[in-house]
């Protein structure tokens, strides 16, 4: 029940097809998932978001691909985004996550949501020892 | 400006002192940070939360200590908990995080917060291919 | 699957009917949407909320009706309220929103959710130049 | 550092003074707290919000005044609203809350924030037995 | 559509069965609701969360059982957790909540969500009179 | 108290200077605000975020510059991002916002946060009439 008509590859504009092609090539898959079909209703957003996802979540950098996905899923759980939890849990499973790692991830996310509210409820001042120091 | 008077080690009840001692022994430090001094105003909460933190964030399990801290900080950034960001960033730095890893972490957290809202804004249905399958 | 039985116009109390009548007259429609049928289970809330919506979202003031709806939808996307996104997107479309404006709206909402978390993640101090000045 | 100049009683318009007078009379205090001084920059909002607060949080109804404040503070802790936590905790203390009740409140708020994320993380379907039934 | 296979009592490990038995005994019911069947995929989390829920939400302490449930539901409404709203509303109804109390609860939760954003929007400083004082 | 050392123009790398120069040229200002100085600690993020902000918030598209800022501030108020509220309120004021428009904006944001929670609290089903229709 998306808010705009999904754009299928057939009949897409060349601009949209170029992004769809890059998504499939980068991910080595032969289909396009729904979020990109929806964003295609606004091509500048489609292009901008895909380029970011490719850049931030792709290989390179200091964090390994599974860790990146775990962080992404942690945020999505906190924000209650069903699509994001389901799609990035599927990605994380491809990169090695199993039920046990999922369980540890969910436990940390839940704990942080709990302790975040305790720190807020009690209005705790940051200890000097934790504050960043710069010369 | 905490909501309750902070409990210092001197003058704490034996019940509270036992938790404070365990925190310092477990973390190999000789001081208690503010959140525990505040939670000490309600000893059952102090004990219950500390035991959880020790259990979930401590060694053991499949995720390494730095990854656990990164997930914890990711949630704290999403929830805007200043105390939690500062205290767990300090922990993560002790476990090897530097400015570059912090930058990658923040970039993923920010990206997920962005794409979460796009999936929600467009009310995207989960693709069948992403749904978990069980026998 | 609402948490209370929906109240239909037939069989509603005079107090509830009066609000339902005002909703239909104000909006020039001949039906009542589900949220009002649910709030009717607690008549003081039905009346108070309707009066506020009529006051804040109705004509008058400096912001035009479409801008008001866009702001309303922006909040609903950030909060992940499906009912609110769907119902107020329908209102915005009546007031002139098309897929392109929806795309721009979603892009701004998503961007702000991203940059909000960067400002929080890095714990940025407000620049003096941005602070409000009063005589 | 409010976003608008605070309106003091002296020099306020008659419209604003009338609301300020009602706040002081209703609460049996002789001063106005900052949120009303800020909302006075937009008199229709000042009046509308005060009337709601008086109506929803005032005496009457099935919930007693302390329970109302506890619910209000629970939401404010979850949303991380410092002003709201501080001002309504002060109100709750006037109505009988002490450190122990505050501790129980914070513990429930923190627990619910934790278990909310577990239910979301695991994408749990609602059991039929919990669903509301209407004839 | 949970993210892990639900664990049924039959075929569960002794460790999981022990928790399931305690849940049924404590609550005086003869069935296990879905969240526990999902958490059973990660037994340490199942045990830890159940023990907390039993401890925080169980009898004892200063707040009565219905007030505890109302606070829990208030948080779940603010966080938009469908499972939590449905399951704890069912619990609250068992403990005496009816449509009218539900209406008052929802009205307070909604009001606090509104006024929280006003305090944040206007960046209101906490009045000195509200700040906690300790000797 | 930012989490990383702020990068000043003097002594910045050529890569960072290029972004700083573009920010100043685009905005016709001669200084750099704190968020960019912080993001400069991770140059790829600095560049990616600035390009997005320039693209999404800049001129062009269907929404006028003030409306874009109002939407941005609405999200920031909902998320409780102090830096974002202050910096984008300053931008909105430059584009014509005064206290009255700010008051209307805050009133809509607050109302939507209220009604969002009512729709969630009552678990309202979307009316068929509101659902998007595509051929």
pLDDT (mean) for F46-73: 97
DSSP string covering B79-129:
HT-HHHHHHHHHHHHHTT--HHHHHHHHHHHHHHHHHHHHHHHTTPPPPGG
Determine whether the interchain pair E45/A100 forms a contact, defined as Cβ–Cβ distance below 8 Å: no
Give the chain C residue nearest D47 (alpha carbons).
C52
Contacts with B31 from chain A: Cβ below 8 Å: 129
| Residue in C113, C118, C123 closest to B117 by CB | C113
- The contacts of residue F79 (CB under 8 Å, 6+ apart) are B80, C78, C112, C113, C116
The alpha-carbon gap from C63 to the nearest alpha carbon of chain E, in Å, equals 17
CATH number at residue E22: 1.20.1290.10
Residue B102: pLDDT band (50, 70, 90) is very high
The 10s digit of each residue's pLDDT in C27-38 is: 999 999 999 999
pTM equals 0.98
Task: Say if CB F34 and CB C124 are below 8 A apart.
Answer: yes
Domain annotation covers residue D8:
yes
pLDDT (mean) for B72-86: 98
Determine whether the interchain pair B99/F42 forms a contact, defined as Cβ–Cβ distance below 8 Å: yes
Domain annotation covers residue D130:
no
Interface membership of E6 toward A (CB under 8 Å) = no
Q: Both D23 and D70 in a single domain?
A: no
Is E90's pLDDT higher than 80?
yes
The alpha-carbon gap from C98 to the nearest alpha carbon of chain D, in Å, equals 31
Partners of chain C (3+ Cβ pairs below 8 A): A, B, D, E, F
Task: Say if CB F22 and CB F11 are below 8 A apart.
Answer: no
Tell me which of A58, A79, A107 is where a domain ends: A58
Q: Would you state the pLDDT for residue F27?
A: 96
Interface membership of D134 toward C (CB under 8 Å) = yes
Domain annotation covers residue A15:
yes
Q: Calculate Rg over the CA atoms of chain B.
A: 19
Tell me which of E58, E76, E100 is where a domain ends: E58
Domain annotation covers residue A131:
no
Is B115's pLDDT higher than 90?
yes
Q: Would you state the pLDDT for residue B104?
A: 98
Distance CA B130, CA B115 (A): 17
Give the CA count within 13 Å in the CB-facing half-sphere of A61.
27
The alpha-carbon gap from F127 to the nearest alpha carbon of chain B, in Å, equals 15
- Tell the burial category of B22 from Cβ atoms under 10 Å away from its Cβ (0-12, 13-18, 19+): middle
Is D68's pLDDT higher than 70?
yes
CA distances from F117 to A95, A131, B75, B106, F73 (A): 37, 36, 22, 29, 20
The alpha-carbon gap from D24 to the nearest alpha carbon of chain C, in Å, equals 23
Determine whether the interchain pair D113/A111 forms a contact, defined as Cβ–Cβ distance below 8 Å: no
Give the count of domains, chain C. Answer: 2
Q: Both F51 and F71 in a single domain?
A: no
pLDDT (mean) for D73-96: 98
Percent of chain F exceeding pLDDT 70 equals: 99
Q: Both D4 and D51 in a single domain?
A: yes
Q: Both E13 and E52 in a single domain?
A: yes
Which parts of chain C sit beneath pLDDT 70? 135
Place of tokens 């991203």: C114
Contacts with C121 from chain B: Cβ below 8 Å: 77, 85, 105-106, 109-110
Is D50's pLDDT higher than 70?
yes
The 10s digit of each residue's pLDDT in E2-27 is: 999 999 999 999 999 999 999 999 99
Q: Would you state the pLDDT for residue C135?
A: 67
| Residue in C78, C86, C122 closest to B117 by CB | C78
Give the CA count within 13 Å in the CB-facing half-sphere of B22.
17
Q: Both D120 and D66 in a single domain?
A: yes
The 10s digit of each residue's pLDDT in E55-68 is: 999 999 999 999 99
Partners of chain F (3+ Cβ pairs below 8 A): A, B, C, D, E
Q: Both F31 and F52 in a single domain?
A: yes
Within chain C, residue ranges assigned H as helices are: 14-27, 34-39, 43-57, 65-79, 82-94, 99-121
Substitution target from A64, A75, A77, A85 for chain B, most B beta carbons within 10 A? A75
pLDDT (mean) for E69-77: 98
Higher pLDDT, B134 or A9: A9
Domain annotation covers residue E28:
yes
Give the chain D residue nearest F109 (alpha carbons).
D45
Hey, which residues 58-117 in chain B have their CB within 8 Å of chain A? 61-63, 67-68, 70-72, 74-76, 78-79, 81-84, 86-87, 89-90, 100-101, 104-105, 107-109, 111-116
Q: Both A8 and A29 in a single domain?
A: yes
Domain that holds residue B41: 1-58
Task: Say if CB A63 and CB B105 are below 8 A apart.
Answer: yes
Q: Both D44 and D91 in a single domain?
A: no
Give the chain D residue nearest A108 (alpha carbons).
D114
Tell me which of C35, C58, C81 is where a domain ends: C58
Q: Would you state the pLDDT for residue F46?
A: 98
Domain annotation covers residue E104:
yes
Distance CA A128, CA A110 (A): 27
Q: Would you state the pLDDT for residue C48?
A: 98
Q: Both B117 and B80 in a single domain?
A: yes
The 10s digit of each residue's pLDDT in E19-55 is: 999 999 999 999 999 999 999 999 999 999 999 999 9
Interface membership of B134 toward A (CB under 8 Å) = no
| Residue in A105, A111, A123 closest to D114 by CB | A111
Which parts of chain A sit beneath pLDDT 50? none
Determine whether the interchain pair A99/E45 forms a contact, defined as Cβ–Cβ distance below 8 Å: no
Interface membership of E128 toward C (CB under 8 Å) = no
Q: Both D68 and D53 in a single domain?
A: no
Q: Would you state the pLDDT for residue C1?
A: 74
Distance CA B16, CA F92 (A): 51
Q: Would you state the pLDDT for residue F135?
A: 67
Q: Both D7 and D29 in a single domain?
A: yes
Determine whether the interchain pair E106/C41 forms a contact, defined as Cβ–Cβ distance below 8 Å: no
Domain annotation covers residue E113:
yes
Q: Both D79 and D28 in a single domain?
A: no
The alpha-carbon gap from A44 to the nearest alpha carbon of chain D, in Å, equals 31
Contacts with D48 from chain F: Cβ below 8 Å: 107
Domain annotation covers residue D93:
yes
């Amino acid at each position: 029940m998306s808010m705009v008509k999904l754009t299928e590859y057939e009949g897409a504009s060349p601009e949209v097809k170029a992004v769809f092609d890059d998504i499939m090539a980068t991910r080595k898959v032969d289909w396009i998932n729904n979020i990109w079909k929806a964003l295609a209703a606004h091509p500048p957003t489609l292009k901008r978001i895909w380029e970011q996802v490719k850049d931030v979540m792709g290989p390179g950098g200091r964090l390994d691909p599974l860790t990146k996905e775990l962080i992404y899923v942690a945020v999505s759980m906190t924000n209650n985004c069903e699509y994001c939890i389901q799609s990035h849990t599927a990605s994380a499973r491809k990169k090695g996550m199993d039920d046990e790692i999922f369980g540890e991830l969910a436990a940390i996310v839940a704990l942080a949501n709990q302790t975040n509210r305790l720190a807020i409820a009690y209005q705790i001042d940051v200890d000097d020892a934790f504050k960043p120091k710069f010369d």
